[in-house]
Each structure stands twice: as C-alpha cells, then as structure tokens.
Amino acid sequence: MNIAIIGTGFVGVVSSAVFASHGHHVWGIDIDSSKIAKLNQGIAPFFEPGLEELLQEGIRSELLTFTTDYAAAIPSAEVVMITVGTPSSPEGKADLSYVLSACESLGPHLRPGAVVVIKSTVPPGSFQQVAAVLSNTTKVSYHLASVPEFLREGSAVADTVSPDRIVLGVTDEISENVLTKLHKPFQAPLVVTKPESAQLGKYAANAYLALRIGFINQIADFCEASGADVNDVIKIIGHDRRIGSHYWYPGLGYGGSCFPKDVRELAYSSKVLSLGETLFTSLNSINSARIAKKLAAWGKSVNGFSHKRVAVLGLSFKPSTTDLRESPALTVIPYLLDQGATVVGFDPMAVEEAEKLLPAHEKLQLTSNLATAIEDADILLALIEWPQIITHNYQAKKGRPQWFIDARNQFNPQQLRQAGFTYIGIGSPISGGLS
C-alpha cells in the first residue's frame, strides 16, 4: 500500500518506520526541512529504542522516504495519516490548528477515494471540523477515519509493533476494509466503532491511567501522615484481580506529552458540555500542585535546601527518552535554585535537551556523568528510574549527614540506610541514617 504520514513527531516517525518494515511504501511529511534531511539519513529527531535501526532499514530498502513536499507524497497515497501535535491552549483546550493546517495542505493533492486517517489525539466533535476543512480544499471524494495511537515513549516501537488493541473509528465500509487490511499483521484485538467513540476512548484510556497515578499518590500521602507503608498497601490492593498490581507506583505525579494535556482537555470539554464538577478538573489541579507540595515537605526534612548541594538524578520525564515535556526536573531544579541550593543535574541521555529548557544559572551544572553529579552532594534526589540511576552502588561520605530522596520508590531503603544515608521515600515514614 502507498501511505503518507504527516508530522514527524513520536507517532509519525515510529508509524512511518513500522509500516515501511511491513513492506508498505511510506512517505513521511513535515514542514521542517532540517528534520527531513536528517530523517532521510536515518537519523531520528529524538531518541527511541530500536527506532534508528528501523528507519535505516526502511531507507535502505527504499520503502521509506521523508519530504517537505505534499505534491510529491500525497497523490499516490491510498492512506494519508495525520500525526501532528495537538498541544494544550492555556485554558486546556486541545489546539487543532496543526491538524487543520495539515488538511489544508494535503487536500489539493488528494487522490480520489483515499482514506484520510486522524491519528493525532483530538477530542470528540473534531471529526466534522476536519471533514469541513478537507472538503473545502479538495475536489475529489475521500473517506475520513479516526485511528488513535496508544504508544508510550521509551517503548514506542514495541508498542506500535505489538499494540494492545487497534481502534478503527469509521463511518463507511471502504475505510473499515482498507484499515482492517492495513492493521491485520499487528494481530491485535480490533475495535471498530464510530469516530467519536474512538477519540473519546483514547482520552478515557489516558485519563484512567493518570487517575490511577493520582489515586496512588493520594494514598501515599495518606500513608506518610498515618504511618502506613504504600508499598505494602500496593501489595494488598494488587492481589485483587479487579485492580492488579501494575502501573501503580507513586511519585511526583504524572508528566510527559500526553497525560497532563489530555486530562486538561477532558476537564475543559466537560465544562463546555456543561457536565458539572468532574474528576478531571480535580485530578489536573492535584497533579499540578504535587511537586511543590512534596518539595516543601522534603525541604523541612533536610532542614532547608539553602546552601546544600543537591544531585538531581534524572532530567527526562521518564526513562529511555530524551523528552523533557512536563518533566519533574523542570519544576524541581528552578525551585531548588530559588531556595539557595547548588544543583548538579544528571541524566544519561537528556542533558543536551535539558540545557535548552533550564535557565542558565551560576549554581546549576548539568552532566551525563553520575559520579560527578553525586560527588560532594548533601542530598541525592532520584527523580527518574533510569537503570543507570537505580543500579548504582551509592555510599554516603563518613561523618557528615547525607540524604537520599527516592521520588520513585525504586531503591531499597534498608540498603541506603546501611550505606549511611537518611532515606526519604514516597509514602513511608522517614527513619534511620546518620542524622
């Protein structure tokens, strides 16, 4: 099949490489010519495990080409996928301008009978808006469908190759048949539905996962205040087969490019639809306030951050990615600097990206060397569970107090106490150590 994929973000690049690896002819399109030039050399614009190998294979086999030219890519495409971003506006509304502008650009070149697929995360109700723009810009008949994407950063290739489900939001039999055939090799359960359900299904999945995180964080706070231990509470609830023990670890709240944005959109849309008070509004405000709340509590436990040297371990929003969107480091580091701390930020891969996003400051240093980061630190603050961070053998310097703050509950408190640290986790009482 000939496929054109518009937008070379996570979803677009990964989908392009995966569809090419299935033997399809794929054109990836973006307006950013420097990105396109690199992609044509097999260089991904971001780190994602397994992606560059797949890109290079696609380019070598000549099944995969990237271009800025809609006129080169769209006329032959039987399926055109839109995978551009839908960022949050200040009031939480998903901004559809990139989706609509992609439609304006592709419309004039569309081949008769092509299936146009919205893969970007768009709220229910957007389908008609997209159809209206497309119909204004094309003279040919086309089919419009919504096929949301559920991949996670850091495992995007694996998630695309083996998805938990494929959702086809369609309004006619032709698009259903074309898209069923295209997705058959993935061997995933297929849900065929109307576009609105497909779109809301994507928001509901993300909001539910975000809610789980918000819920366990509140239970963790309850544990700290009442002397219970959240790890044991997770074991207890996890044995319930209706609940399960996965995707339950507490921390500083959810971040990344999807959960915060999608929860805000649901909160916004619920207001527009006059649904009254919703979980989404509360979830968003609880999650947004969480980092400041935890930092204030930890500040008290370490007798203030002022004049302390803090090693902040993990700058990306999660392991195996260089993405810092809504990463805890972006809030934590400015707060610590503001409190008068000296900060050394460590990340195995995301330092270059962090340098662009964190303000230059005389008391801030960023490094991809863990030993440099922890040298002489008074406080080690582990933000992200990169394997390099959680497998390191940490030892406190003899004779002086050192704190280890485990913001992901990834470490063995006993071991760290024996290594001389005062251990502070999430959802358990603070005890032990030198102080």
Task: Give catalytic residue positions.
Answer: 258
Based on the shown chain and the rule CB under 6 A, indicate whether residue 147 belongs to the binding site for ligand UDX: no
Can residue 118 be called a binding residue for ligand UDX (CB under 6 A)?
no
Collapsing DSSP to helix, strand or coil, 334 comes out as helix
Would you give the binding string for ligand UDX spanning residues 227-266, x where CB under 6 A is met? --------------------xxx-x--xxx-xx-------
Report the residue from 6, 55, 213, 405 that binds ligand UDX according to the rule CB under 6 A: 213
Element (H, E) at 132: helix 126-137
Question: Pairing state of beta strands 64-67 and 25-29?
Answer: parallel
- Give CA torsion, residues 244, 187, 52, 316, to 10 deg: -20
Question: Which position among 209, 279, 349, 357 is part of the footprint of ligand UDX (CB under 6 A)?
Answer: 209
Closer Cβ to ligand UDX, 178 or 213, answer by number: 213
Stretch 304-323 residues interacting with ligand UDX (CB under 6 A): 317-318
Q: Pick the closer one to ligand UDX by CB: 42 or 148.
A: 148
- In terms of CB distance, is 111 or 152 closer to ligand UDX? 152
Q: How far is the CB of 223 from ligand UDX (least distance, A)?
A: 16
CA-closest candidate to residue 49, choices 293, 377, 349? 349
Alpha-carbon distance of 112 to 16, in angstroms, equals: 22
433 binds ligand UDX (CB under 6 A): no
d(CA 176, CA 239): 39
C-alpha to C-alpha distance for 36 and 290, rounded to whole angstroms: 39
Q: Which is nearer to ligand UDX, 10 or 346 (CB)?
A: 10
Distance CA 350, CA 231 (A): 29
Q: Tell me which residues in 382-401 interact with ligand UDX (CB under 6 A).
A: none
C-alpha to C-alpha distance for 33 and 8, rounded to whole angstroms: 11
Q: Which is nearer to ligand UDX, 124 or 256 (CB)?
A: 256
- The Cα-based distances of 67 to 8, 46, 51, 133, 349 in angstroms read 10, 18, 18, 23, 28
What are the residues binding ligand UDX (CB under 6 A)?
A: 150-153, 206, 209, 213, 247-249, 251, 254-256, 258-259, 317-318
